[in-house]
């Protein structure tokens, strides 16, 4: 509704400008409206972001008093509102404010666990998801040690659910993915032996689960293989890393064959990892591989921008890093600028993440 009103207001303003300019000076009748359109094109996106953040903050504020009177009913709604608010803040690049909203969300989930022990199982998943989201924001903020601590609590919570209620393969998958995330964080902290052990435990679990239902758990297996390859590369095990990265690509290609473009974003991500590893031994092939993925995702995004722009963004980011690693710094910067412009224009929620990927682990957020 807000966007429809904005479009109508824009059309009215342009028409009014054209009419007034025609009356005052006919020569401006074509120039001035275009100038107004260009100016509003710059102004409307930040105005829309500001309005959305204010609206989500107001929604959270409206739920605070009811949540104190009736926590069981309103605290989950408040936690959901805070999650949406934090994501909107993150999309606007306001990472510290997003962290504040996310931390409040975690506090409410913790209160639900403490106040309703008989419904602990019901609230565990929401608490673990809140911890995972907060961990991701801490990583983007360049605070890996805190992210590692939050991940440890998420892993404990997920293992508690699996151990007490034997939730089945989905619970096992969630534990494995949390373990894989822990491996990635440990690798960034240069704790390579621990990272390799955690990623191997996650991979073993995913292989067991996917053997029961290959198609359903293949995406998770590909993701864990991708993380395992990154950990192996950081530990200096390049050949093992290349083998696991290649298997991750093959898993995603099977998914694409089964479900067409649904997993194109995952394929772009694991192909980027594979290309970055391959760059150490065969830079030309790595550049060719990442370039092909850019072409594939560009073609898909032209057909359905909403669905496939994140895949294109992932492919552009990987291609920029591969070009830079291969010594083609100027080309790498050119592609990096394209990735940043695309994320700023089309997927603002991924802008902070794209900046950090291009800057490197632990870099400050621009």
Q: Enumerate residues 6+ apart whose C-beta is below 8 A from 5.
A: none
CB–CB of 102/83 below 8 Å?
Answer: yes
Model confidence at 362, pLDDT cuts 50, 70, 90, reads very low
At 359 the pLDDT is: 75
Q: How far is CA 151 from CA 107, 135, 139, in A?
A: 16, 6, 11
Please give the Cα distance from 196 to 183 (Å, whole number).
7
Give the pair of three-digit tokens for residue 168.
Answer: 């089945």
Percent of the chain with pLDDT over 90: 58
pLDDT at 199 over 90: yes
Please give the Cα distance from 351 to 267 (Å, whole number).
20
**Which has the closest alpha carbon to 87: 277, 353, 272?**
353
Model confidence at 365, pLDDT cuts 50, 70, 90, reads very low
Please give the Cα distance from 275 to 16 (Å, whole number).
53
* Cα-trace Rg, the chain: 23
pLDDT at 366 over 50: no
pLDDT digits (tens, 9 = 90+) for 62-100: 999 998 888 888 988 999 999 999 999 988 888 899 999
At 344 the pLDDT is: 83
pLDDT digits (tens, 9 = 90+) for 205-253: 999 998 887 688 999 999 999 999 999 999 999 999 999 999 999 999 9
Q: Which has more confidence, 117 or 54?
A: 54
Q: Which has more confidence, 260 or 315?
A: 315
**Which has the closest alpha carbon to 154: 137, 177, 138?**
177
pLDDT digits (tens, 9 = 90+) for 319-331: 999 999 999 999 9
Please give the Cα distance from 121 to 117 (Å, whole number).
8
**Which has the closest alpha carbon to 14: 50, 44, 52?**
44
Q: Residue 43 burial (CB < 10 Å; 0-12/13-18/19+)?
A: exposed
At 22 the pLDDT is: 47
pLDDT at 272 over 90: yes
pLDDT at 125 over 90: no
CB–CB of 314/281 below 8 Å?
Answer: no
CB atoms within 10 A of CB 11: 11
CB–CB of 232/186 below 8 Å?
Answer: no
Please give the Cα distance from 289 to 154 (Å, whole number).
36
Please give the Cα distance from 253 to 263 (Å, whole number).
9
């Amino acid at each position: 509704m807000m966007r429809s009103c904005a479009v109508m207001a824009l059309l009215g303003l342009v028409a009014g400008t054209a009419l007034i300019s025609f009356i005052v000076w006919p020569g401006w009748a074509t120039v001035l409206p275009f100038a107004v359109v260009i100016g509003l094109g710059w102004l409307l996106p930040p105005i829309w972001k500001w309005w959305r953040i204010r609206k989500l903050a107001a929604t959270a504020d409206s739920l605070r008093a009811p949540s104190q009177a009736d926590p069981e009913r309103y605290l989950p709604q408040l936690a959901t509102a805070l999650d949406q608010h934090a994501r909107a803040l993150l999309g606007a690049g306001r990472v510290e404010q997003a962290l504040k909203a996310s931390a409040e969300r975690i506090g409410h989930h913790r209160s639900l666990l403490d106040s309703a022990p008989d419904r602990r199982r019901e609230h565990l998943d929401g608490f673990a998801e809140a911890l995972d989201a907060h961990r991701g924001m801490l990583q983007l903020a360049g605070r890996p040690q805190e992210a590692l601590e939050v991940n440890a609590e998420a892993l404990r919570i997920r293992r508690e659910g699996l151990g007490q209620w034997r939730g089945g393969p989905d619970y096992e998958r969630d534990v494995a993915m949390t373990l894989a995330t822990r491996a990635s964080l440990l690798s960034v902290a240069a704790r390579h032996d621990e990272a390799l052990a955690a990623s191997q435990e996650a991979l073993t679990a995913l292989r067991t689960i996917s053997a029961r239902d290959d198609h359903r758990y293949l995406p998770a297996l590909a993701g864990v293989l991708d993380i395992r390859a990154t950990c192996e590369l950081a530990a200096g095990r390049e050949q093992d890393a290349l083998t696991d990265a290649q298997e991750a690509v093959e898993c995603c290609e099977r998914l694409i064959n089964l479900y067409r473009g649904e997993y194109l974003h995952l394929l772009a991500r694991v192909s980027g990892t594979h290309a970055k590893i391959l760059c150490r031994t065969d830079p030309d092939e790595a550049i060719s591989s990442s370039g092909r993925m850019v072409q594939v995702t560009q073609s898909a995004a032209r057909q359905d921008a909403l669905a496939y722009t994140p895949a294109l963004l992932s492919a552009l980011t990987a291609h920029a890093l591969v070009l830079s690693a291969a010594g083609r710094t100027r080309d790498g910067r050119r592609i990096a600028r394209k990735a940043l412009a695309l994320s700023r224009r089309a997927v603002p929620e991924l802008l902070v993440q794209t900046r950090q990927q291009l800057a490197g682990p632990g870099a400050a957020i621009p």
